[in-house]
Structure 1
Amino acid sequence: MSHQIKFIMVGGFLGAGKTTTLGRLAKYYADQGLNVGVVTNDQAADLVDTNALRSQGLHVGEVAGACFCCHFNALMETIEELGSQQKPDVILAEPVGSCTDLVATVIQPIKRLFDADFSIHPYAVLMKPSHGLKILKNDKGSGFSPKAAYILKKQLEEADLILINRIDELSAEDVDEITSLVNEQFPGTPVLRTSALTGEGFDSLVEFLEQDGDFGSKILDIDYEIYAEGEAELGWLNSSVHISAENSFSLDQLLMDVISQLQASFKEQSVETAHLKTIGLWEGFFGVANLVSNDSEPRLSLSSDCTVTEADLIVNARVACDPEALTAQVMQVLQNCAQALNAKLEFRQTQSFRPGRPVPTHRYASPQ
């Protein structure tokens, strides 16, 4: 048999920890001597995840402008480009966090159209505790409407493996409660408890992903009207800026100030954060800060440990509010942070919108 590329897709709701998980998986496979390619995905350009993974020395391609399912041909072209110099042994794919129905629209098309080129490995979906626990308990205080909650539930329904992530942030009682709810609502689906940040449970994840079997076969019964309306409730913003000051400043502190002030602004406006990320880059240094819900603590997920006089910043915000209001809040906070440093701020590019209705390139209603 000719060389087949391992195709491993890791899904999950916005802020579930997909990027951290993929970064850890990429390092694991690279340490095994394998050639690894990573494909990120977003509804717009200037993705924090792409820049963060590239800054770790990984070979990363980006499919921007729509989800993998709606840009399937772009996904396959990006994989081909990643193999232009050396064919990958492993492709790690990170879909948009507001997308579902990926078995029918991504995995099944690869199986049917590119069967000789790829071996499909288990489709793992990360469970985001901060919103997921409330949604599985049907708590109306989750911050999202039932239509947005529908997406998270459908993501878990089509998984070959459910990963309860961020257990380092939870009490043992909370982890047990989430596990019980997942087992009750998605019976028969294997469940692992993990922390992408600390690596707890990672060996079990790798062991599961290396299994052979008929994976990627759970075709959803899904209402695309509810799905589309749930996605459209989120305001989506990607913004890139350059900041420069006469006096040096801590890049990490700036990132945390941006995240903390945005969290305060969103709480004041009573709009829920699905995910908020910012990366700061300068001359090979980079740091990343993020927030996964209004009730969570802002975190410096990757520290730059550097002092600079200028830097490039990228902000990605996925918030349950109007895109214009989201843009105004982000711009105001960036200006406030620059003013506090007596720094100049140059806006390079800002895109804000609501995601459009998903229109998959392919959709197979039955598994191969």
Structure 2
Amino acid sequence: KVTYIYLKQLEEADLMVINKIDSLEETQRKSLRTALEERFPTKKVLEVSARSGAGLEDWFALMTSEKQGSADTMEVDYAVYAEGEALLGWLNATLELRSEEAWDGNAWMTQFAAHVQSQLEAQHHEIAHLKMTLSPEDGLGELAVINLIRNDFVPELSQTLPTDIHQAELIVNLRAEADPDALEAALRSALDAMNAGQGAINAALTHIEHFRPGKPEPTHRMEACP
């Protein structure tokens, strides 16, 4: 049922972008693109790598030169969609990190993400998306960003901080096939482990919300144009 949601999101898209092509073999790229083009023959498909920059100019040019067109009304089985949504727990959290001594924010966030991953894996909860953003208090716009999109991957830093820091804010966005309470428990356990093992760095949870999306109940539905 989660797959149903994913396929409906692809069906609704005007443009499909295959990212991280630098991490795929040529045969994998071709196979993925062929599968998308065969299933969604009216969609445009691009291949890009945000890391290397490959394909980005074509993508940006397309986004800035074309207007969004009107699409046919998409048929949605809201009962199946709701069941799929109910399988995913959502968690958003904010942490404040402080230390009198300068510390490596990239290393801290990588270790914290690995702790969260380990906690969820131990309970057999599949991660759909984990993203953390670390923003130093005096970073002048600099950020560290880490992502994880499945259990058998390793948390990957897509942006790093160039220098050690003293204070920062960490924002966590997590979606996984688990009860929302289980996501909170995993986050708190990971936080306890970090505070126990990183004595000089104090990490405090300042905000947390966890939930399951409600069942979509459309008030109005437009009929498909003839």
Normalised to the residue count of structure 1, the TM-score between the two structures is: 0.56
In structure 2, the partner of 1:335 is 192
Of structures 1 and 2, the one scoring higher in RCO (CA 8 A, sep 6+) is: 2
In structure 2, the partner of 1:316 is 173
- How far apart, in 2, do the equivalents of 1:367 and 1:162 lie? 24
Matched, 1:279 2:133: yes
In structure 1, the partner of 2:163 is 306
Letter in 1 for 2:211: F
Shift in Å at residue 239 of structure 1? Answer: 1.1
Matched, 1:291 2:148: yes
- How far apart, in 2, do the equivalents of 1:189 and 1:179 lie? 11
- How far apart, in 2, do the equivalents of 1:243 and 1:214 lie? 42
- How far apart, in 2, do the equivalents of 1:234 and 1:215 lie? 31
- How far apart, in 2, do the equivalents of 1:295 and 1:216 lie? 39
- How far apart, in 2, do the equivalents of 1:216 and 1:197 lie? 32
Give the gaps of 5 or more residues in structure 1: 1-146
Where 1:198 maps in the other structure, the secondary structure is coil
Shift in Å at residue 270 of structure 1? Answer: 1.4
Where 2:29 maps in the other structure, the secondary structure is helix
Where 2:94 maps in the other structure, the secondary structure is strand
Matched, 1:344 2:219: no
Task: Please provide the CA RMSD for this pair.
Answer: 2.1
Aligned residues: 222
In structure 2, the partner of 1:193 is 47
In structure 2, the partner of 1:355 is 213
C-alpha distance after superposition, 1:268-324 (max 9, x if no partner): 221111110112222242311111111222111111123123322221111110111
CA contact (8 A) 1:245 1:309 kept: yes
C-alpha distance after superposition, 1:31-67 (max 9, x if no partner): xxxxxxxxxxxxxxxxxxxxxxxxxxxxxxxxxxxxx
Matched, 1:218 2:76: no
Shift in Å at residue 360 of structure 1? Answer: 4.4
Shift in Å at residue 171 of structure 1? Answer: 0.9
C-alpha distance after superposition, 1:303-356 (max 9, x if no partner): 112312332222111111011111011111012112211133322111011111
Matched, 1:238 2:92: yes
Inter-CA distance 346–214: structure 2 relative to 1 (3 Å threshold): closer
Give the gaps of 5 or more residues in structure 2: none
Letter in 1 for 2:177: A
CA contact (8 A) 2:119 2:189 kept: no
CA contact (8 A) 1:164 1:192 kept: yes
CA contact (8 A) 1:240 1:312 kept: yes
Shift in Å at residue 211 of structure 1? Answer: 4.7
Inter-CA distance 214–307: structure 2 relative to 1 (3 Å threshold): closer
- How far apart, in 2, do the equivalents of 1:362 and 1:252 lie? 47
Matched, 1:182 2:36: yes
Inter-CA distance 216–201: structure 2 relative to 1 (3 Å threshold): farther
- How far apart, in 1, do the equivalents of 2:83 and 2:218 lie? 16
Moved more, 297-306 or 317-326: 297-306
Normalised to the residue count of structure 2, the TM-score between the two structures is: 0.89
1:153-192 equivalent positions in 2, closer than 5 A: 153-192=7-46
Inter-CA distance 178–347: structure 2 relative to 1 (3 Å threshold): same
The runs of at least 4 aligned residues of structure 1 exceeding 3 Å deviation read: 210-214, 359-363
